[in-house]
């Protein structure tokens, strides 16, 4: 059995914490990682404060195979992610030649202002993550992947990054939906979890059209086991619905 | 000047980390806290793992005035938030009389199964947070507010909780939108941030209709200062648009 690969995500964003913006990047990263067999184990949303970004990245990069960040890599004064990640990785920023060439090509020499040149400041040893939308690249240093906050750009960067990551066995999932109440299925579902200990049995209630319902979600890297557990859940739902 | 009140949020949810569900609770809590003058300083999304929930709640409750949790308070085997929060607060669960009465009233004695009675297990010393949708209450213990994960229920609980929280001065915000690129406004916007050091000047690029634009967001608890800074931003945008 291949080893488990884990990841964490750091969303750098006062605009998320202030409620101004609804984050859309976490779900995209989560889905992408599932596809390639990497487990997203935690997410932190932190303010644009240097000390907090540094300590968070430092802690998570030592705990997980991969850390993904979104936000704070533009040209304005509040874009401090690159310098924070450099410090968390015990290195410094330098003008990256490839990043410079990308920006030169995109803006032309006349328009390559100091503000724009700031986006060519990449940690020493960093590898660029290309930005097909607006040129300014993200970067990878150590096991940290630094991406834009604008969803369209972040998604393009993540697609590119995901192609080159090592992952383990892909977790498969099966969902059984029912309008039975959670409290009706709780005991029998607990028994099924007991029976299939290596299957993660989750129960996620929802509220739709004025009624509660439950999505019962089974997850495992063993497709055969999953099918048997799913069959048990379906039989349970049928039995309790009578 | 009143002191600053800070908060953290813990989202307990394998379903968010697996990408199955897009979180909707963080933004709701963030907006609600802004209204009452409490600063949401960090958010963590953690898996349904007892040790991680306990250590996260313990760390955050000592750092902030308030901690809000969402998810994991139902009747199924994977609902472990109550027991974890109890441990983080150095107490234990007991059958809460008021919670019992609520469940009894809702289900009737015949239908008050063991699974449902699990939802009356509240930490000793906890105060209930009422659930107008499906009866099973959340609770507050110490400075930790434990709420449901289903958005409709969480929102009702948060509305109720927010009415009774102490907050500081409400932060006001002004937004100036422009189709100028961030790199065009970066230098002058930095100067404005320098000039108004107690105003938080944020620059949030977006991508819409195939074009980039920026929302420049100013935040402060001082309305007069905010108006002056806003005027400077508007003049800057006009000047750079010529």
Tens digits of residue pLDDT in B159-216: 999 999 999 989 999 999 999 999 999 999 999 999 999 999 999 999 888 888 999 9
pLDDT in tens, A76-128: 999 999 999 999 999 999 999 999 999 999 999 999 999 999 999 999 999 99
> What average pLDDT does chain B have?
95
Q: Please give the pLDDT value at position B13.
A: 87
CATH classification code of A172-241: 3.30.310.50
Is B183 within 8 Å of A22 when comparing Cβ atoms? Answer: no
Question: Per-domain residue ranges for chain A?
Answer: 5-162, 172-241
B chain contacts of residue A201, beta-carbon cutoff 8 Å: 77-78
How many Å apart are CA A13 and CA A16, to the nearest integer?
A: 5
pLDDT at A230: 97
**For residue A212, what pLDDT is reported?**
86
Q: Which of B213, B93, B107 is nearest to B146 (CA)?
A: B93
Q: Give the per-residue pLDDT at A196.
A: 97
- Mutation for testing the B interface, residue in A68, A137, A183 having most B CBs under 10 Å: A183
Going by the DSSP 8-state scheme, the letter that residue A75 receives in this structure is: S
Distance, CA of B181 to chain centre: 31
Strand pairing category for B66-70 and B144-147 = parallel
pLDDT at B223: 94
- Contact between A86 and A165 (Cβ < 8 Å): no
For the entire predicted model, the pTM comes to 0.93
Q: What is the pLDDT of residues A11-50, one digit of tens each?
A: 998 999 999 999 999 999 999 999 999 999 999 999 999 9
Instruction: Examine the pLDDT at A210 and tell me if it is beyond 90.
Output: no
Long-range contact set of residues A159-163: C-beta below 8 Å, sequence gap at least 24: A159/A32, A160/A129, A160/A130, A161/A68, A161/A129, A162/A32, A162/A33, A162/A35, A162/A36
Interface predicted TM-score (ipTM) of this complex, two decimals: 0.92
d(CA A207, CA B154): 11
Please tell me the predicted confidence (pLDDT) of residue B39: 96
The verdict on B208 touching A (C-beta cutoff 8 Å) is no
Distance of CA B55 to the CA centre of its chain: 19
User: What is the structure's pLDDT at B211?
Assistant: 85
Q: Which residues from chain B sit within 8 angstroms of residue A77, using beta carbons? A: 186, 189-190, 193, 201, 203
Among A149, A189, A204, whose Cβ lies nearest the Cβ of B77? A189
Q: What is residue A104's predicted lDDT score, i.e. its pLDDT?
A: 96
Q: Do A23 and B27 touch (CB under 8 A)?
A: yes
What is the residue whose two structure tokens read 């508007």?
B234
Query: For B79-99, what is each residue's pLDDT tens digit?
Result: 999 999 999 999 999 999 999
Query: Contact B76/A182, CB-based, under 8 Å?
Result: yes
Residues from chain A contacting residue B107 (CB–CB below 8 Å): 183
CATH classification code of A5-162: 3.40.980.10
Question: Tokens 């009356």 — which residue?
Answer: B120
Locate A7 and state its tokens: 């990841």
Judging by beta carbons within 10 Å of its beta carbon (0-12, 13-18, 19+), is residue A169 exposed, middle or buried?
middle
- End-to-end Cα distance, chain B: 41
Across A167-187, average pLDDT: 93
Could you tell me which of B31, B86, B35 has the C-alpha nearest to residue B57?
Answer: B86
On the question of pLDDT at A165 being above 90, the answer is yes
Instruction: Tell me what the mean pLDDT of segment B96-108 comes to.
Output: 96
pLDDT bucket at B3, cuts 50 / 70 / 90: confident
Give CA–CA dist B18/A103, Å, rounded.
36
- Per-residue model confidence as pLDDT tens digits over B140-162: 999 999 999 999 999 999 999 99
**pLDDT reported for residue B55:** 98
CA distance B27 to B70: 12
H or E stretch including B193? helix B182-195
């Amino acid at each position: 059995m291949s080893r488990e690969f884990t990841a964490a995500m750091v969303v750098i964003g006062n605009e998320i914490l202030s409620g101004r913006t609804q984050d859309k990047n976490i779900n995209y990263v989560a889905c992408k990682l599932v596809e390639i067999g990497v487990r997203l184990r935690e997410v932190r949303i932190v303010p644009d404060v240097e000390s907090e970004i540094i300590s968070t990245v430092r802690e998570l990069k030592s705990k997980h195979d991969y850390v993904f960040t979104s936000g704070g890599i533009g040209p304005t004064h509040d874009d401090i992610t690159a310098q924070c990640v450099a410090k968390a990785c015990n290195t410094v920023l330098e003008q990256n030649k490839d990043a410079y060439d990308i920006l030169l090509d995109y803006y032309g020499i006349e328009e390559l202002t100091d503000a724009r040149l700031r986006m060519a400041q990449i940690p020493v040893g960093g590898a660029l993550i290309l930005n097909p939308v607006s040129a300014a690249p993200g970067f990878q240093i150590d096991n940290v992947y630094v991406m834009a906050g604008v969803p369209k750009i972040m998604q393009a960067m993540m697609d590119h990054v995901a192609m080159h990551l090592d992952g383990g066995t892909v977790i498969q999932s099966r969902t059984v939906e029912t309008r039975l109440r959670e409290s009706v299925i709780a005991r029998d579902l607990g028994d099924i979890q007991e029976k299939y200990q290596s299957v993660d049995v989750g129960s996620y209630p929802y509220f739709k059209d004025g009624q509660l319902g439950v999505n019962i979600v089974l997850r495992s890297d063993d497709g055969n086991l999953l099918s048997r557990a799913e069959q048990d859940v379906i039989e349970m739902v049928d039995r309790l619905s009578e």
